Amino acid sequence: MAIKRIAVLASGRGTNLQAVMDGIKSGRVRNAALRLVVSDNPKAYALERARASGIEALWINPAAFPGREEYNLELIEQLRKRQVDLVVLAGYMRILTAEFVRSFKDAIINVHPSLIPSFCGKGYYGERVHREALEYGVKVTGATVHFVDEGTDTGPIILQQAVEVLPEDTVESLAERVLEVEHLLLPRAVDLYCRDCLKIEGRRVWIKAD
């Protein structure tokens, strides 16, 4: 089984990127090579993390393209050029075009800070997810890793784990505890993908036993 080449797309701090890098280093993520980190934001700390680990870091400036379609074509080209097998979205704040999703069919993974289908869809990213969960008054939330399809947060679910909401929780404290779970689930999902242990059947994802 050929080693899978991974590209991570990130707009911010890149803690999920770090979790994947750590997973590869420690051997929990197997059969994977992190080939490239791309950001739309030149100041994303994710780029810094990549460089610090000797991984190619690429800023692609959205302002240099007439629109989203052209920007995504450039993304596709850069990833293709490096023969990327798996695209991991780790806090990437832009919506991918249908063409991008088709170009990497069943090969894009995203991590979302709630138990999908709760608190997801258009406009649900970052702190807002946790704010809405707290305002709704749920007692349980969690994290989801899923394949990306042409909808927003609608693709087949790979892994989910629950997180209890505590009475004293703020948006920040809840986000932090959910992020810890994201850091567990994302590397695990990448490992499963890279070892060909995931099978999509309609909306269900089957996990082959180790």
Active site residues: 112
Minimum gap (Å) between residue 131 Cβ and a second copy: 12
CB closer to a second copy out of 53 and 118: 118
d(CA 46, CA 140): 30
Where does this chain bind a second copy (CB under 8 A)? 115-119, 134-140, 142, 156-162, 167, 202-207
Residue type, 144: T
Alpha-carbon 117 to chain mean position: 17
d(CA 60, CA 75): 8
Minimum gap (Å) between residue 49 Cβ and a second copy: 29
CB closer to a second copy out of 93 and 138: 138
CB closer to a second copy out of 159 and 186: 159
Cβ atoms of residues 32 and 194 within 8 Å: yes
Cβ atoms of residues 182 and 143 within 8 Å: yes
Minimum gap (Å) between residue 146 Cβ and a second copy: 9
Cβ atoms of residues 20 and 6 within 8 Å: yes
